[in-house]
Amino acid sequence: MSQYILLINWTQQGISKIKESSDRYNSFKASVEKAGGKVIGGYYTFGEYDVIIIIEAPNDEVVMSLMLKVGSAGNVRTKTLKAFTAEEGMNIIKNFP
């Protein structure tokens, strides 16, 4: 499975309903699992991003579908990074032409 790092910021709507964030997180986690993935970790942060979530998912299409669902609710804006383990990255570099 591929790994993804989700960088999340609250919208005005999302911050005004901050008390619901744990319910939204649990709902997102259930959606990831239903799609065949797994939430590796979720972190409330301060600085440039408000939340960071790391997930594993079967493919990019699953992640795009999940992010469209999350975005359409209007509570957050997201940036998604596809991540490679150090081992995967070194293997890619090793096999670079």
pTM of the model: 0.92
The most distant pair of C-alpha atoms in the chain lies apart, rounded to whole Å, by 51
The whole-number pLDDT of residue 40 equals 98
Pairwise CA distance, residues 94 & 36, whole Å: 30
Pairwise CA distance, residues 60 & 13, whole Å: 27
Using one digit for the tens of pLDDT, what is the confidence trace for 30-74? 999 999 999 999 999 999 999 999 999 999 999 999 999 999 999
Range 2-94 classified under CATH 3.30.70.60: yes
What are the residue boundaries of the structural domains of the chain, listed by start? 2-94
Q: Which residues, other chains included, contact 66 with Cβ-Cβ below 8 Å and sequence gap of 6+?
A: 28, 31, 32, 35, 37, 57
Q: Spell out the alpha helix ranges (H) of the chain.
A: 12-16, 21-34, 60-72, 86-94
